[in-house]
């Protein structure tokens, strides 16, 4: 018997194009078992791409994943035209790691998602030839050094699900913080706490997308710095609490 992680590693390697013989040697699993694992995956083709093969695209989860990708995600070419989608997640927030896995599995359900651990962070990784179809923003270099524009079909999805894009953006490159202030009331100094949301990103284009999505849910924002956005009005914070909430 093999443990679940061995099976996940083997399936990820198959999805990335490694041969059964190579995986068999590397993991010490027979080729018959590997074939069995491959052939008992849920039905549907790995190339069931929503963009070029008319496959289904769950829009709400896609909007969420788009936010995570724009915040802390990247695509890299792996081998044989297979791309790795990586969403970097802070170790401190297991709920966010689980949500990133769920979003990826919802969009690309036929292949395993796995976790690559590094110091202080976990990358949630999925291999697919068609990730660039879903994230045409993919390009060379960091996102803030190139133009990031949404395709028309992506904009339509965000207009339908702006809160999910914001959830992805704020949970990757933002935070909900509790600020406080003091006020003197009837001679007594009182402490008042007020939460606010912050979003930081070096890309002016991604900042613009965040501002646009906030406008779609009717949330006013300020820019205390060129690369930092703040949402502080009480009713605006309450609206974002419905869509985003604290990291967990």
Question: Rule CB under 5 A: which residues touch Zn ion?
Answer: 49, 51-52, 130, 133
CB-CB contact of 86 with 122 (8 Å): no
Cα separation of 248 and 245, whole Å?
Answer: 9
- Nearer CB in complex with Zn ion: 94/136: 136
Instruction: Kindly state the smallest distance separating residue 47's Cβ from Zn ion, in Å.
Output: 7
Question: In this complex, which beta carbon is closest to Zn ion, that of residue 51 or of residue 247?
Answer: 51
Minimum distance between the CB of residue 224 and Zn ion, rounded to whole angstroms?
40
* Nearest-angstrom CA–CA distance, 188 and 204: 44
- 130 or 196, CB closer to Zn ion? 130
The pair of three-digit structure tokens given for residue 231, joined into one six-digit string? 């949402």
Element (H, E) at 196: strand 188-200
Nearer to Zn ion, 114 or 130 (CB): 130
| Residue positions counted in the chain | 248
Q: Which residues are CB-neighbours of 170 under 8 A, at least 6 positions away? A: 67, 176, 197, 199, 240, 244
Minimum distance from CB of 17 to Zn ion (Å)?
16
- Our separate counts of H helices and E strands in the chain read 10, 8
**Beta carbon of residue 57, minimum distance to Zn ion (angstroms, whole number):** 11
């Amino acid at each position: 018997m093999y443990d679940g992680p061995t099976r996940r590693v083997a399936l990820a390697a198959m999805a990335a194009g490694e041969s059964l013989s190579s995986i068999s040697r590397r993991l010490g699993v027979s080729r018959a078992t590997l074939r069995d694992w491959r052939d008992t995956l849920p039905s549907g083709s790995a190339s069931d791409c929503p963009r070029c093969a008319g496959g289904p695209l769950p829009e709400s989860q896609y909007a969420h994943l788009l936010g995570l990708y724009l915040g802390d995600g990247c695509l890299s070419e792996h081998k044989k035209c297979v791309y790795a989608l990586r969403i970097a997640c802070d170790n401190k927030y297991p709920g966010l790691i689980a949500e990133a896995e769920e979003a990826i599995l919802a969009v690309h359900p036929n292949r395993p998602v796995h976790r690559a651990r590094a110091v202080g962070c976990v990358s949630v990784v999925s291999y697919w030839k068609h990730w660039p179809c879903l994230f045409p923003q993919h390009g060379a270099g960091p996102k803030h050094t190139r133009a990031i524009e949404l395709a028309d079909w992506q904009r339509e999805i965000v207009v339908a699900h702006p809160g999910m894009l914001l959830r992805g953006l704020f949970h990757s490159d933002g935070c909900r913080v509790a600020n406080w202030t003091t006020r003197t009331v009837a001679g007594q100094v009182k402490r008042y706490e007020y939460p606010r949301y912050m979003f930081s990103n070096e890309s002016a284009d991604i900042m613009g997308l965040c501002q646009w999505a906030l406008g779609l849910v009717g949330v006013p924002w300020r820019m205390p710095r060129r690369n930092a956005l703040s949402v502080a009005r009480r009713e605006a914070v309450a609206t974002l609490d419905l869509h985003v909430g604290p990291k967990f």
